[in-house]
Structure 1
Amino acid sequence: MEMTPGKIHSIDFKSEILNDTYEIQYYIPKNFSDLYKHRVIITFDGQDFFRFGQLERTYEKLREAEEIDRAIIIGVPYPDVDWRYDHFSPNGKHHEKFVSFTAHELMSWVDEHFPTLKVGTSRTLMGESLAASFALSVAITYPATFSNVLALSPYVDDDFIARFESQSSLMHLDMYHTIGLEEDDFESISKDRADFLMPNRKLHEHLSTRLLEYKYEELDGGHIWKTWKPILEPAMKHFLS
């Protein structure tokens, strides 16, 4: 497995749970040393976090300034829109199995191949839109395994909110949740009109008194990376300081 520092690598990962193969990305920091234990960031829509969010550049800037701890960044990209819905959407046909894949197969691979801290509080899940919904699904299903989650404009409906109501262990979670003020009426990637603002406000009302730590922001902007990218720096400081 290639381990060149300062570079985004990718592998083909065979999942026994889903009987399928998936691309997994991983970023090795410039100052990487296996003498140190690392935190872990897992991004869903991984290629967008690297391409549009430039997450690795923000990490290196904060790390050089010694504002955050050492971390490995893992990316879970999507090959096409249909795949993204089937795996990341709470209503997708592979959603539940992909949640299990993330917690068991993917996390075991990360801990086996990298020097990690191996505790829930050292792991942060990140996603935007449907990928944020998926990050939340993983966190509420396995809150002891993944204690931190950044959810940028997640897709939310009443059935999804009900999942939080049925979970008794949400007090383990540290969540950073954002939504854009211009997300009350926009065209989604599937070309449908959508309102994410009001459902996310409803989710906020439900979560505000139930989590160990909960940060909620309504941002100026829409359902685009121009709105989300500036949040990555404060989010990494929040979870990795």
Structure 2
Amino acid sequence: MGDSLGASVSLKAALKYPHTFGNAILHSPLVTDELMDLANKANPALVKIFHVIGSEETEVPTTDNDVANFLEPNLALHQILETRGFEYYFQEFEGKHRWKYWQPFVKEALQFMLDKEQFETEDMTV
């Protein structure tokens, strides 16, 4: 699970090493050509992905003092993952590139990844 660059690393690990990291929870990843290529080559049967991105993530400050459009590449990644048949959840939410917009998705992401009955039985609250 990760947000921004952490989500990019999570996705890369899942796509390159699905037998070790077969699940990825992505909160607004920085999507690169390398990630798109990996998504096109990975075995969809081995990877489960939860993916959210904000509709206002069109001008995100980056660590190299630049500004990037995160929305457009995430929508392109969404098309690849959906078309290729990954076990996949996607949502575009109203919001920006901030934790306060990602936080409400944590419980839903964990429920998607884990057995819902086990999640509810063990009284895990998020």
Q: Tell me the TM-score normalized by structure 1.
A: 0.45
Specify the alignment match of 2:96 in structure 1.
222
Please report how far the alpha carbon of residue 136 of structure 1 lies from its aligned counterpart in structure 2 after TM superposition. 0.5
Task: Give the equivalent residue in structure 1 for 2:87.
Answer: 213
Map Cα deviations across residues 135-161 of structure 1 (whole Å, 9 max, x no partner): 011101111222221011011122321
Q: Which has the higher contact order (CA 8 A, sep 6+)?
A: 2
Contact 2:27-2:102 within 8 A present in 1 as well: yes
- Larger % of strand: which? 1
Residue 173 of structure 1 is matched in structure 2 by 47
Question: Who is 2:66 aligned against?
Answer: 192
Distance 2:80 2:37 in 1: 10
Aligned to 1:146: 21
Output one character per residue of 1:71-128: Cα deviation in whole Å (capped at 9) or x when no partner.
xxxxxxxxxxxxxxxxxxxxxxxxxxxxxxxxxxxxxxxxxxxxxxxxxxxxxxx011
Q: What SS does structure 2 have at the residue aligned with 1:155? A: coil
Q: Does the residue aligned with 1:178 lie in a helix, a strand or coil? A: strand
Gaps of 5+ in 1: 1-125
1:192 is displaced (CA, Å) by: 1.7
What is the CA RMSD across the aligned residues, in angstroms? Answer: 1.4
* Structure 2 residue ranges without an equivalent (≥5): 117-126
Q: Which amino acid aligns with 2:17?
A: Y
Task: Report the equivalent of 1:27.
Answer: none
Q: Distance in 1 between matches of 2:76 and 2:45?
A: 19
Rg larger in 1 or in 2?
1
CA drift at 1:170: 2.4
CA contact 1:174–1:211 (8 Å) conserved in 2:
no
Alignment equivalent of 2:34, drawn from 145, 149, 159: 159
Count of residues in Structure 1 that have an aligned counterpart in Structure 2:
115
Question: Which residue identity is paired with 2:53?
Answer: I
Q: 1:231 aligns with which of 77, 93, 105?
A: 105
Counterpart in 2 of 1:38? none
Q: Which has the higher helix share?
A: 2
State the SS of the aligned residue for 1:203: helix
CA drift of 1:164 comes to: 1.8
- Deviation of the 1:189 alpha carbon: 4.1
Asked if structure 2 preserves the Cα contact closer than 8 Å seen for 1:171 and 1:210, the reply is no
Is 1:173–1:211's contact at 8 Å kept on the other side of the alignment? no
Normalising by the residue count of structure 2, what TM-score does the alignment of the two structures yield? 0.83
Q: Which residue identity does 1:209 align to in structure 2?
A: T
Taking a change above 3 Å as real, the CA distance of residues 164 and 212 of structure 1, as seen in their structure-2 partners, is closer
Q: 1:144 to 1:238 in 2, by over 3 A?
A: same
